[in-house]
């Protein structure tokens, strides 16, 4: 691993500019690394004191420039993933998926979302807002625990996200609290073909999601609907079947788009 030079002021004092330089050096190191880096590896590579490294990493984590994986090592943060998701390679997927999200919103009245796997997290790359005045928030701006998310459970169930390690944060009494419990939920997801979370992320919120597949049949995204539990709780199975239907149709269209792109490239060659 290449050692990163960090500026030091004579006498040991650190200016505001130097603190920014050091933080930028840490971000650059993590983003360019071929694999997650531990705090110790980052400190050794930069030559910074471990206490300084820890303090800078904590600040970078708060601002989503870096984040920790299930083993506690550092990887590029959600801001980098969000930027990537809003551009290629997902731009075309969002364009193709938007009419399906609009159809789901029209048929359920609720907010519809498209989520894709990025590292160990789900990125909400597209949203069509609810037709109701009382609706859910803009999930494209929010990072939530994947085990409390219907989109996350879909991507866990089909192996697109690595399963978490250790105890799980329980945001409500309905949240799953262990990996063993999560695995039982994921077996149900695969059996039904859709995931549902009722009051697991927050009280009064229900969400349902289904897998979207690419040309090779692997799951590449999840499409979901979310809204107040009072409106959705008795409609979960009906909404789940609708999502499976629309997700399957979207999968077929995405495969056709991919096939056309491949044939165009072969013709150009």
Domains and CATH numbers, the chain: 16-76 (1.10.10.10), 82-268 (3.30.450.40)
Determine if residue 248 is left, alpha or beta; phi over 0 gives left, psi from -120 to 50 gives alpha, anything else beta.
alpha
* Close Cβ partners of 29 (under 8 Å, ≥ 6 residues apart): 4, 37, 42, 45, 46
Whole-structure pTM value: 0.64
Burial group, residue 166, by CB count within 10 angstroms (0-12, 13-18, 19+):
exposed
Q: Give the residue from 126, 112, 141, 88 showing the smallest Cα distance to 210.
A: 112
- For residue 147, what are the CA distances in angstroms to 59, 88, 120, 152? 25, 27, 11, 6
Exposure pattern of 29-57 as b/e (b: 16+ CB <10 Å)? Answer: bbeebeebbebebbbebbebeeebbeebb
Owner of token pair 């939530």: 144
Q: What is the pLDDT along the chain (269 residues), one digit of tens a residue?
A: 544 544 444 444 456 788 899 999 999 999 888 789 999 999 999 999 999 999 999 999 998 899 998 889 998 887 776 665 555 556 778 888 999 999 999 999 999 999 999 888 898 889 999 887 665 566 666 678 899 999 999 999 999 999 988 889 899 999 999 999 999 999 999 999 999 999 999 999 999 999 999 878 899 999 999 999 999 999 999 999 999 999 999 999 888 765 544 444 444 44
What single-letter DSSP state applies at residue 253? H
């Amino acid at each position: 691993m290449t050692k990163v030079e960090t500026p030091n002021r004579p006498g040991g004092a650190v200016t505001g500019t130097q603190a920014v330089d050091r933080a930028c050096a840490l971000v650059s190191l993590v983003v360019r690394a071929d694999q997650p880096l531990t705090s110790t590896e980052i400190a050794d590579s930069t030559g910074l004191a471990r206490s300084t490294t820890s303090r800078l990493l904590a600040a970078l984590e708060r601002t989503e420039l870096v984040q920790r994986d299930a083993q506690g090592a550092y990887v590029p943060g959600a801001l980098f993933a969000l930027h990537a998701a809003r551009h290629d390679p997902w731009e075309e997927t969002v364009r193709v998926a938007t009419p399906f999200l609009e159809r789901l919103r029209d048929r359920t009245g609720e907010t519809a979302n498209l989520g894709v796997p990025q590292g160990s997290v789900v990125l909400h790359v597209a949203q069509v807002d609810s037709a109701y005045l009382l609706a859910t928030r803009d999930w494209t701006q929010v990072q939530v625990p994947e085990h409390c998310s219907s989109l996350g459970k879909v991507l866990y169930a089909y192996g697109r996200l690595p399963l978490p390690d250790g105890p799980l944060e329980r945001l409500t009494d309905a949240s799953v609290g262990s990996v063993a419990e999560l695995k039982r939920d994921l077996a149900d997801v695969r059996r039904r073909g859709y995931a549902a979370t009722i009051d697991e992320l927050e009280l009064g919120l229900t969400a349902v999601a289904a897998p979207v597949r690419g040309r090779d049949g692997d799951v590449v995204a999840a499409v979901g609907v979310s809204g107040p539990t009072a409106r959705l709780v008795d409609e979960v199975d009906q909404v789940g079947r609708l999502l499976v239907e629309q997700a399957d149709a979207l999968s077929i269209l995405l495969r056709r788009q991919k096939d056309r792109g491949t044939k165009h490239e072969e013709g150009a060659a």
